[in-house]
Amino acid sequence: MMLCLLLLLLLCCVDIAVCGGRDGFSIYNKVELVTITLSLLAASIPEELNLSDKKRVIQRRNVHNNRTRRPINSIFKEQGPCYVRRAYRMHSRSFWTLLGFLRPYMKPQPKKNHKRGAKNGFISQATRLSVALRHFAGGRTDDIALVHGISHTSVYESVWQVVDAVNMCNSLSINYPEDHNQQRQIAAGFKRRSRAGFDVCAGAIDCMLVWIDKPTIRECEKAEVGPRKFFCGRKHKYGVNLQAVCDSEGRFLDIAIGHPASTSDYLCFKTSSLYKKLEAGMLAAGLVLFGDNAYVNNTYMAVPFRAVRSGDKDDYNFYHSQVKLQVQLQWPVLYVLTFLLFFLQ
């Protein structure tokens, strides 16, 4: 560092001598000379750092942050039942039930700390699930890390560990029930909620555009379609087309996501596994799905009448939309399932 200071002093003296005369350089030459001086100085400083100085710089970058891991029970107790429901989109008892399903598929927590790493202690499976649910519920990453006493990087590690566990857990797979008794129970649930007394609805079906960033060339090559296929001209957004069926309680019965945004809702339905099952006669006699005009009216699908403004057909359309509204109310929840199903396919 002493050599750098001497070099700086020498260059400053040269600048003063050159720029100080009345018949010296022009103002542009003077500025250029000062710029060259500073550039030479900046380039010479890293070369003059000795080994001990470099070690101190690296040590300052890798300073260990002491964090206190917080048990999930204490977080739930501090928030209270009302705010737990708002923060996690579920009650605390549902959280522990979900953890029981995912625990066998999550990385086990080591019994002893390694000599290197985990200075603050290992992150429990309950904490990782809590972090993932808060992340998918819209929480900020830095706030989640602060509440749970983990690092910013550990938040993303926890999210993807939970995503992997959900995809491996067969108990959480979403498949439309093929048992006719269960289908009739779904229809009975819609009948209780329908003001018109519809007793044939075995599910409400609809599609949604899930917004995404413009795919890269590598991602498009993997999907075997160009980037224009992911652009929705009607909504002027890039995305993927997501189709779902739900019951009267808003519980999802079937989910299909595999087409870019430019694909029509009907084509998504025609290429889904649910369509093949319906064509094969999966539904019980007299039961149908309720969909909008993107679908076609047939023996297993009921859609509204087109171009009517009054009369019995208009009344039917009103009560039909009332039943189908059940699936539309659940779209915010389905964003979470989109991450779990699409990005790991």
Q: Is 130 within the bounds of a domain?
A: yes
Same domain, residue pair 141 and 203: no
| CA angle (114 as vertex; 109, 115 as ends), nearest 5 | 165
For residue 302, pLDDT over 70 is answered with yes
Same domain, residue pair 291 and 309: yes
CB 65 within 8 A of CB 151: yes
- What's the Cα-to-Cα distance from 7 to each of 18, 40, 151, rounded to whole Å? 17, 9, 43
For residue 333, pLDDT over 80 is answered with no
Say which residue the tokens 């009103």 belong to.
318
For residue 135, pLDDT over 90 is answered with yes
Tens digits of residue pLDDT in 235-276: 888 999 989 898 888 888 998 888 898 988 899 999 999 999
Confidence of residue 84 (pLDDT cuts 50, 70, 90): very high
Confidence of residue 331 (pLDDT cuts 50, 70, 90): very low
Q: Is 41 within the bounds of a domain?
A: no
Same domain, residue pair 236 and 271: yes
CB 289 within 8 A of CB 205: yes
* pTM of the full structure: 0.64
Same domain, residue pair 167 and 303: no
Confidence of residue 33 (pLDDT cuts 50, 70, 90): low
Q: Is 64 within the bounds of a domain?
A: no
Q: Is 195 within the bounds of a domain?
A: yes
Q: Is 189 within the bounds of a domain?
A: yes
Give the structural domain span for 311. 180-342
Tens digits of residue pLDDT in 187-203: 999 888 888 888 999 99
Q: Is 276 within the bounds of a domain?
A: yes
Q: What is the pLDDT of residue 119?
A: 74
For residue 28, pLDDT over 80 is answered with no
What span, in angstroms and rounded, lies between the C-alpha atoms of 266 and 252? 19
Residues 79-85 have a mean pLDDT of 91
Question: 10 Å Cβ neighbour count for 293?
Answer: 13
For residue 338, pLDDT over 80 is answered with no
